[in-house]
Structure 1
Amino acid sequence: MNKVLLSVHVLAAIIFIGPVTVAASMFPPLARRALEGDGDLGVLRTLHRISLGYAFGGIIVPVFGLAVALGMGVLGDTWLIISIVLTLVAALVLALKVIPDQAGLLAGMDGDEQARAALMPKAKALSMVTGMFALLWAVVVVLMIVRPGSSTGA
């Protein structure tokens, strides 16, 4: 049963976390171009929908991850606790910063040139936030593979 749970956990991470990370990372540079008048709002709207939709689907990843951890008896291991905390931080960054900022930038795209120029710092800051979001996931993936201090580690 653990192999099935682990398979669902890994597949869900690939199917949901990968695309939301890519879409979130692509959004800021394209938003900056759109704010300068040289961008495609349809692409930005699509990236925002991907970010939002796949964020909801991504909830499956920690749910199945916890089930796998219980089955393996590693729920109290330090590497897993750190992974859980980092996953929670990444989810909060996505839900409270990335997706709302994407929506705010999209809403401001209809403004005049001066209003769009005022949104440029927000678009630049979103680049940093999405970079942190991607870095959090990268650290979680490394922890899941290496499992430092675990008797089941590589």
Structure 2
Amino acid sequence: MTKFLLAVHVIAAIVAIGPVTVAASMFPPAARKALEAPDDPGALATVRLLHRICQVYAVAGVAVPVFGFATASDMGVLGDTWLIVSIALTALAALVLAALVLPRQSAVLEGTAGATAVDPATTVRLAMFTGIFNLLWAIVTVLMIIRPGSTTGA
């Protein structure tokens, strides 16, 4: 059962978190392009699509910690330091995405549609928060691979 749970956990991470990290990273430059060319419907469509990808896959990403907890429980490692740190960083990444990335994407999207004015620095801050989100996931991935102090680690 452990192998099945681990496989689903890893597949969920690849399928759900991967698209969010890529789409969120692509969003700020696409938004700058859309803000510079407000008459370009393709630029606006790209920004809308990237934001939608981030929203949908963020919800799908909930499967990652769900199967992660199931896997850790089955392996008997719920109290291991590397896992606790990974859980904390995953929660922090989710918070960054929900509180800092997605709302700013929505605000920028409104600005590209002409509904509100967008400060050019907004896309720079958005890129920074997206980078923090991606860095947190990279650290979690490394912790999941090397599992420092784990007797089951490499």
Counterpart selection for 1:107 from 110, 117, 122 = 110
Counterpart selection for 1:80 from 56, 76, 83 = 83
Query: Which segment is superposed worse, 36-45 or 67-76?
Result: 36-45
1:26 aligns with 2:20: no
Quote the residue 1:149 is aligned against.
Answer: 149
C-alpha displacement at 1:33, in angstroms?
Answer: 1.6
Distance in 1 (CA, whole Å) between partners of 2:123 and 2:71 is 38
Runs of 4+ that moved beyond 3 A:
none
Output the amino acid matched with 2:143.
L
Distance in 2 (CA, whole Å) between partners of 1:32 and 1:109 is 9
Quote the residue 1:14 is aligned against.
Answer: 14
Quote the residue 1:134 is aligned against.
Answer: 134
Report % sequence identity: 60
Aligned residues: 151
C-alpha displacement at 1:136, in angstroms?
Answer: 0.3
TM-score (norm 1): 0.94
Contact 1:87 1:137 in 2 (8 A): yes
Distance in 2 (CA, whole Å) between partners of 1:105 and 1:126 is 9
C-alpha displacement at 1:34, in angstroms?
Answer: 1.4
Distance in 1 (CA, whole Å) between partners of 2:113 and 2:23 is 22
Distance in 2 (CA, whole Å) between partners of 1:145 and 1:111 is 45
C-alpha displacement at 1:119, in angstroms?
Answer: 2.2
Distance in 2 (CA, whole Å) between partners of 1:108 and 1:18 is 27
Contact 1:35 1:119 in 2 (8 A): no
TM-score (norm 2): 0.94
Output the amino acid matched with 1:64.
F
- 5+ unaligned residues in a row in structure 1: which ranges? none
Distance in 1 (CA, whole Å) between partners of 2:32 and 2:123 is 6
C-alpha displacement at 1:108, in angstroms?
Answer: 1.2
Distance in 1 (CA, whole Å) between partners of 2:24 and 2:52 is 10
Quote the residue 2:65 is aligned against.
Answer: 62
Distance in 1 (CA, whole Å) between partners of 2:47 and 2:113 is 13
Distance in 2 (CA, whole Å) between partners of 1:19 and 1:3 is 24
Contact 2:44 2:113 in 1 (8 A): no
- 5+ unaligned residues in a row in structure 2: which ranges? none
Contact 1:108 1:119 in 2 (8 A): no
Output the amino acid matched with 2:77.
V
